[in-house]
Amino acid sequence: MRKQPLVSILLNVVQEKAALEPCIRGVLAQTYINWELLLPASAAPEDLDDSRIHPVPADSVREMLAEAQGEWIAFLDSDTLWTPNQLEYRLTAVLEHTEGGLCSPELPILCARPTLSSNSSAPDVQELEERISVLEADLKQVRKEKAGAARELEIYRREYGYAIQQRNEYHANNLALMASMSWRLTKPMRLITGGLRRVVHKFPHLLLICKALRTLIARGPRATWKRVRHYRRRVRRLKACARWEKQWIEERGTLVPPPLFGCTFEDYTSQQKATFPKDIKFSILVPLYNTPEQFLREMIASVQHQTYTNWELCLADGSDDQHPEVGELVRKLAEEDSRIRYTKLEENMGISGNTNACLDMATGDYIGLFDHDDLLHPSALYENMVAICEKDADFIYTDETTFQNTPKDAYCPNFKPDFAPDTLRSNNYICHFTVFSRALQEKVGKFRSECDGSQDYDMVLRLTEQAKHIVHIPKLLYYWRCHTASVASDISAKPYVIDAAHKAIGDHLKRIGLEGEVLDASVPSMYHVKYAIPEPKLVSIVICTKDHRHDLKTCVDSILQKTTYPNYEIVIVENNSTEPETFEYYKELEQNPLIRVVTWTSPTKEFNYSAINNYGAEQCSGEYILLLNNDTEVITPNWLEEMVMFVQRSDVGAAGAMLYYPDDTVQHAGVGIGLLGLAAHLHRNFPRNHPGYMSRMSYAQDLSAVTAACIMVRRDVWDEIHGLDETFKVAFNDIDLCMRIRKAGYLIVFTPFAELYHYESKSRGLEDNPEKQKRFAGEIQRFTKRWKKELDAGDPYYNPNLSLDSEDFSVRTDI
């Protein structure tokens, strides 16, 4: 390098002082030595001993720039570490390849600094200001991208950590088993059974007989016969689809014949012949933009193969001049099928503008939203027609799945809950396939360009605000293609989607009269809405307890030490304790003005969870009642805020929290009705911070029930339904409470942002004697009789395609 101009490095502090040391070491290690480092004096380390480092009384890069003496300016964040040759390499590059001003886009950290003297011209100063503005905008964008990448990296690290942990646990358990005496003694038996297994697997029919015998022993003849019938139907269906697929391709040669979706000839033909009491025309909107020819052909074919034929396909083409084949192909197909309508846009108006152009073309009674590279199941419009005629639906959505090449390789079924407003505000779970009445659309208006990227999310929020009959069809009727440029592949393919979603949710909250801040959840494209709490009304925390002083102390200490909510009281309900240390602890607690101890007495000394908590609630004066087990421990300081912000709403009756076992696996993430016979905890035993099925552990959502181990209920709702039913002495009292709250017209919200540990059953013990087991059986019978209709109908927040035999959202295999 011919000359060595002075470079002024402006250090923008965005981290704590401790993070500055490696950053400054990176500057000191530079091979290029003619530099000066300027940083805010308030953040400068005390042991600076290099004369080139200048702490300045400045709070911004703009102010530090006034103190800089260098001919060149370098901008450095405190969370960035330079390699030793970084400055020399970049300065050499800009000196050799530029003539002052900003350097090339590949070398963005240096810019030439005009000399500012008394006779400097105004244009020089103005030019410098413009450059600073550009750099600050670039810096803001880089930080934003880094933050998004950091979030994704953290998710990958957690998933990797879970996998490593599971692998290590498996190896440890395996080694312990192989070292045991029982393993050595059973070796001959394993050799025999292993040989038999290999023989059985060579003969498929013999394998099926063995599976049937295993089911017969485990579940009885009725369940075995049911599985046999299901297997036979499935085999017949697959064979019929294979035969029909071959015949269809021979006759028509299209790329996506209906059999690829698992549609049988009988279903297809019977739906084609079906008649309906209404004459509905569907307008399917598809904005096109440089669509690959294969994707375009397959998309249009999937519409042409619909069993319900009264439709029109509205295609508005915003493709650029380099993709004329899009219009050529569609015009050719439109000549063959008059239901295909096409217009070439004069300019690309963005996704919302292009979709609005489709909308202007539409003449149908109902509108369907469809992406240009996806596929529709042949029964999609038929099933929507059934919903319209039978349920008078004005807004309809279906389940969806993801595929790469053909519908046969679909690999990620998204089985959705019925309409749930809090779930929708956290995640656009409705997404595809969405159909709504033209009258409803005209009421809410067209797509908004300011929400481009999440324009469908914004439209869904506006439509559901006004819809009278929202219907969910729990069938996989939409096939979302996964490729490198699609959101189905990676949300980072379209980062602007998240910003647009923030706006869509924020505008939605304003329209419905709710005040809140929209934040990102731990999973990209999932959101955490923090509702404002205008008035932090009193929360009465009711803890019923019997002895177990240590557990109670852990619980109470965690509340007192961590809780940030400013207005709460703790009501300890004493229940037949006998240990002296328990009463000594009560005296200690009563010294705290936030805590009261009340005594519940029972003539029979019988434990009745419902009666104890009802008594505790009577002693409370709070606007919100929080039932809390004495074997819990608070984790998140804002746990009360996260529940109060829901129950303060008039449409919400109760809110529940995320509870973990001591080993950081999930104990409770909401309750599903009908699972494991009656009710069960969703995602139980999943690792902490796992996103869950379709990320459902990462955001707040409406559910059928939550556990009373930590449940908050608004006082007027509690009084309206008369608290817990005291006939449920131990089990199902919380589920029954939530069912009655929902029957009264209120929502139940689960939030993963209020976290506690739960040392389950420590206080009460297990159902380990005949008396307890008899009582438990009676409560099962009572619950089943009272809620038979709801149990038969199924949980609206748990899709009927998901298994009722597990809590992990596995797919049913018996339908």
Mean pLDDT of 712-723: 97
HSE toward the beta carbon, residue 514, CA cutoff 13 A = 22
Mean pLDDT of 37-51: 78
- Angle at which helix 350-361 crosses helix 455-466, to 10 degrees, equals 50
Rounded percentage of the chain residues whose pLDDT exceeds 90: 56
Sheet strands side by side (includes 53-56): 53-56, 35-40, 7-12, 72-77, 110-112
pLDDT at 102: 43
Is the CB of residue 302 less than 8 Å from the CB of residue 412?
no
Ranges 53-57, 276-280, 719-723: which has the least confidence: 53-57
Quick one: pLDDT band at residue 104, thresholds 50, 70, 90? very low
Mean pLDDT of 748-763: 86
HSE toward the beta carbon, residue 494, CA cutoff 13 A = 16
Q: Is the pLDDT of residue 115 over 50?
A: no
Rounded percentage of the chain residues whose pLDDT exceeds 70: 86
Mean pLDDT of 773-800: 90
Q: Is the pLDDT of residue 345 over 70?
A: yes
Mean pLDDT of 482-506: 70
Q: Which residue has the tokens 């869950």?
A: 692
Quick one: pLDDT band at residue 17, thresholds 50, 70, 90? low
Q: Is the pLDDT of residue 117 over 50?
A: no
Which whole-number Å values give the CA distances from 279 to 312, 314, 393, 807, in the listed order?
Answer: 14, 19, 14, 42
pLDDT at 527: 95
Q: How far apart are the first and last CA of the chain?
A: 74
Q: Is the pLDDT of residue 442 over 90?
A: yes
Distance, CA of 238 to CA of 262 (rounded, Å): 8
pLDDT tens profile 425-437 = 999 999 989 999 9
Ramachandran quadrant class, 685 (left: phi over 0; alpha: psi -120 to 50; beta: rest): left
Q: Is the pLDDT of residue 271 over 70?
A: yes
Q: Is the pLDDT of residue 124 over 70?
A: no
pLDDT at 519: 94
Q: Is the pLDDT of residue 301 over 80?
A: yes
163 compared with 800, residue with greater pLDDT: 800
278 compared with 260, residue with greater pLDDT: 278
Distance, CA of 695 to CA of 431 (rounded, Å): 15
Mean pLDDT of 637-641: 97
- Token pair in block for residue 111: 């810019």
Quick one: pLDDT band at residue 23, thresholds 50, 70, 90? confident
Q: Name the DSSP letter for residue 304.
A: H
38 compared with 721, residue with greater pLDDT: 721
Ranges 169-183, 486-500, 591-605: which has the least confidence: 486-500
Is the CB of residue 703 less than 8 Å from the CB of residue 797?
yes
Contacts of 613 (CB under 8 A, 6+ apart): 542, 544, 573, 627, 708, 723, 724
Is the CB of residue 73 less than 8 Å from the CB of residue 57?
no
Distance, CA of 115 to CA of 30 (rounded, Å): 25
Run of H or E including 702 = strand 701-703
Q: Is the pLDDT of residue 40 over 90?
A: no
Peptide bond into 415 cis (omega under 30): no
Quick one: pLDDT band at residue 171, thresholds 50, 70, 90? confident
pLDDT at 44: 75
Distance, CA of 297 to CA of 263 (rounded, Å): 20
Mean pLDDT of 790-815: 90
117 compared with 403, residue with greater pLDDT: 403
Quick one: pLDDT band at residue 81, thresholds 50, 70, 90? confident
pLDDT at 770: 66
Distance, CA of 8 to CA of 63 (rounded, Å): 13
Ranges 288-292, 341-345, 615-619, 763-767: which has the least confidence: 763-767
pLDDT at 581: 93
Paired with 401 in beta bridges are 479
pLDDT tens profile 521-578 = 988 889 999 999 999 999 999 999 998 899 999 999 999 999 999 999 999 999 888 8
Mean pLDDT of 175-179: 81
Is the CB of residue 778 less than 8 Å from the CB of residue 769?
no
Q: Is the pLDDT of residue 488 over 70?
A: no
Is the CB of residue 422 less than 8 Å from the CB of residue 700?
yes
Coil, strand or helix at 247: helix
Mean pLDDT, all residues of the chain: 86
Q: Is the pLDDT of residue 463 over 50?
A: yes
Mean pLDDT of 6-12: 84
- Token pair in block for residue 288: 């096109």
pLDDT tens profile 358-417 = 999 999 999 999 999 999 999 999 999 999 999 999 999 999 999 988 888 888 899 999
Quick one: pLDDT band at residue 485, thresholds 50, 70, 90? low
- Annotate 522-548 with three-state secondary structure: CCCCCEEEEECCCCCCCEEEEEEECCC
How many residues in total does the chain contain?
Answer: 815
Q: Is the pLDDT of residue 186 over 90?
A: no
Distance, CA of 503 to CA of 458 (rounded, Å): 8
